[in-house]
Amino acid sequence: MKQPLVLPKVDSQDKDLQTLIEFYEETLGFCPNSVKTMHHRPRIAYAFIEMNKAVMQNNGKVTSALKRLVGYISSNAAGCRYCQAHTIRAAERYGAEQQQLENIWDYKTHPAFSEAERAALDLALAASLIPNAVTDEIAENARKYWNEGEIVEIMGVIALFGYLNRWNDSMGTQIEEGAVDSGKELLGAKGWETGKHTY
């Protein structure tokens, strides 16, 4: 793409937009251009923020770091390089082990991942493919390690990133400098690049 489908909203006088920017300064270190683009219709941005907060709230054993790794696997399956960089950055910021960050591509076999984590990541991969690839075997394995509420949390992350993957790849959202740094540092050795998200 020669430019994003819609450019991010930039308005230093818009107090609501500035509040969103401050919120993301804490979680990612910058406000995503995706949210600034949604803010052209503020209710969409606010609804997304509320969904994001609900999905990322921890109510059981699913950790903040694992949720971000689930988001990464989901985004990788969808091919969204923008969200791949964001999720691996967020996983690092929320305490994922270095061995997991460096070996996320090999989660099925690498010893840094527990069987419970593998079950969650297998679900993320299968649920993010088109057509959907969740089987009885994948479902049974997920139920072996996670209760119903925890599976709902995991599926919430997968569904949230389904929305974000569609949004950012279709919009061609410009990737932010911090996300580029994380993508290159943590995913570059496996071929990650900014793709359509750099102008």
Give the H or E element holding residue 113.
none
Q: What is the largest CA-CA distance in the chain?
A: 53
Angle subtended at Cα 109 by Cα 106 and Cα 113, rounded to the nearest 5 degrees: 85
The pair of structure tokens assigned to 6 is 């819609």
pTM: 0.95
Mean pLDDT, residues 172-197: 95
- How many CB atoms are located within 10 Å of the residue 139 CB? 14
The tens digit of pLDDT for each residue in 2-61 reads: 999 999 988 777 888 888 888 888 778 899 999 999 999 999 999 999 999 999 999 989
Q: What pLDDT score was predicted for residue 13?
A: 79
Q: Which domains does the chain have, with CATH numbers?
A: 15-190 (1.20.1290.10)
Contact yes or no for 20/35 (Cβ under 8 A): yes
